[in-house]
Amino acid sequence: DAGVTQSPTHLIKTRGQQVTLRCSPISGHKSVSWYQQVLGQGPQFIFQYYEKEERGRGNFPDRFSARQFPNYSSELNVNALLLGDSALYLCASSLDPGRGAYEQYFGPGTRLTVT
């Protein structure tokens, strides 16, 4: 079975621009979460979606937004890019965030560089 897929793999943007990152979860998984991983640090939680509804939001500015589609894929949008937004953006999928231990399976990430 295919794992979590993310696109694009790499992206270079200029300050002030907008970017959209895409994620497809593992088949059968209905929850998608987004994380930001700055070089040398652990991932930081941005959003969680389940059944197209936002279930959680981390401590990120309103420039960050996301949505989940009926097929459970998801997009993360970042507006007015800053240099500090340069990071590896990770998408993780899970079965049902409401039951059992919360095991998440990560995609390979999208490396965003803001110049």
Partner 1 sequence: TQLLEQSPQFLSIQEGENLTVYCNSSSVFSSLQWYRQEPGEGPVLLVTVVTGGEVKKLKRLTFQFGDARKDSSLHITAAQTGDTGLYLCAGEGTGRRALTFGSGTRLQVQP
* Residues of this chain that bind partner 1 (CB under 8 A): 4, 33, 35, 40-45, 48, 55-56, 58, 88, 90, 92, 97-98, 101-109, 111
Pick left, alpha or beta for residue 15 (phi over 0 → left; psi -120 to 50 → alpha; otherwise beta): beta
Q: Which residue number, 68 or 104, has a Cβ lying nearer to partner 1?
A: 104
* CA proximity to 84, closest of 57, 107, 61: 61
Q: Answer whether 58's CB lies under 8 Å from 65's CB.
A: no
The least CB distance from residue 80 to partner 1, in Å, is 24
Pairing of strands 87-94, 31-37: antiparallel
Please identify, using beta-carbon distances, which residue of 16 and 56 lies nearer to partner 1.
56
Minimum distance, C-beta of residue 41 to partner 1, in the bound complex (Å) = 5
